Amino acid sequence: MKKHSKIAVLGASGLVGSAIVRKLLERGYENIIGTYRSRKPNFDGISLLQVDLTSQEQTQKLFHQHKPDYVFLAAAKVGGILANNTYKAEFIYENMAIALNVIHSAYKYGVKKLLNLGSSCIYPKHAPQPMKEQYLLTAPLEPTNEPYAIAKIAAIKLCRYYNEQYGTNFLSVMPTNLYGPFDNFNLETSHVLPALIRKFHLSKLLEEGDYEGIMSDFKKYPIGFGLNQKLDSPDKNSISQILKHLGIKFSNSVNNFEGQTLNKVTVTLWGSGKVYREFLHVDDLADACLFIMKNVDAWSLSPYHPKINIEHRSFNLDPILPDYLINIGTGEDLTIDELAHIVKNIVGFKGEIYYDTSKPEGTPRKLLDITNIRKLGWSHKIGLKEGIKKVYEWYKES
């Protein structure tokens, strides 16, 4: 991939796509196309195109007219456990449609290399830990995100079989749970870490009695659950009712050691807090994606590729990767309760955390085995606490 190569980042307005665009610009790439579906990203120095990738006609038109050399497939319909479990048909249909349209068009119009972005939810619910690439399809999936996972598995298999039938150079990467700037902070559809950041931020504002700050936050991002409709004529009582619906409430006021009056606030989170999750800053993922796009080819990973020469494979990966699939993560995880207390302390919230065990919490553990990406020569750079601090500062300033 050269500085003048035509590079398409599909889904440039999303968490992952925007991070890849930033990294490409930072590295001096000068011929970048970014696509978006509804919300136009704010980038200088790239061509921005509004394209609905669920439409076969629009997708083929994009590839026919612009003929990109390299493609990052970061476009997807994404969400947390509630969104996945609520909008099941939308998640499987839209993500499968995007994969079918993009991967076939990439083959049809001669893309040199495609990198398909997936998710660690593709692995079985009770997969051995840490999860190796070869555990794909070895046991049942987590039911709450099965539709999304099946669509992502289909994309992996599409890349594999196009490679094997047509000799294409399509790879897939499976990142662990991601976080970073431009994340989704809608509490109905967000993933766990951005949801925690926003919940504790709102809780801190309630502690301080800063209703103006709470209203400013409500206007900045959708709340979800149809609650934005209740903001037409807000007062303290209606704001408190909205926060209560989000699991944030107070019972009385106390004075701290500085003489300030603080509301005694509690936050209730879904599940038990005992499940484990691994987190990767999206800037690290973007760095890994560029590394793979520049240094790794499909035929170096699997003996099933028609261009493979076993004696001259580029990397000594063991085992081989028949699905052209590479895990990307940190190799470290923690419980949701541990994560919640880290976020709480960074935000500066003083109250108590409770758990609603009647709510779903997903797979017990999702730690990726990152042996192969490390053998290829890449590792993450941003620590979790450092990364959360950066995101919280961005959230407050954005």
Tokens (6 digits) for 176: 């662990």
- Asked if 262 and 250 count as a contact pair (C-beta separation under 8 A), the reply is no
C-alpha separations of 170 from 117, 130, 333, 369 in Å: 11, 25, 29, 21
- Asked if 17 and 11 count as a contact pair (C-beta separation under 8 A), the reply is yes
Q: Does residue 106 sit in helix, strand or coil?
A: helix
- Asked if 281 and 194 count as a contact pair (C-beta separation under 8 A), the reply is no
A 10 A CB-CB count for 134 gives: 14
Name residue, tokens 């999206």.
282
Q: What is the largest CA-CA distance in the chain?
A: 73
- Give residue 224's region: left, alpha or beta (phi > 0; psi -120 to 50): left
Burial (0-12, 13-18, 19+ Cβ within 10 Å), 95:
buried
Tokens (6 digits) for 388: 């959360």
Beta strands in the chain (DSSP E): 7-10, 32-36, 47-50, 70-73, 113-117, 170-175, 177-179, 248-255, 261-270, 276-277, 279-281, 325-328, 334-335, 352-356
Catalytic residues: 148
Burial (0-12, 13-18, 19+ Cβ within 10 Å), 71:
buried
Q: φ, ψ for residue 94 (rounded to 5)? A: -65, -40
Residues in CB range of 69: below 8 A, 6 or more apart: 1, 5, 6, 7, 111, 112, 113
Name residue, tokens 């919940």.
199
Instruction: Give one DSSP letter per residue of 189-234, joined into a string.
Output: T--HHHHHHHHHHHHHHHHTT-HHHHHHHHHHS---TTGGGGGSS-
- Asked if 101 and 55 count as a contact pair (C-beta separation under 8 A), the reply is yes
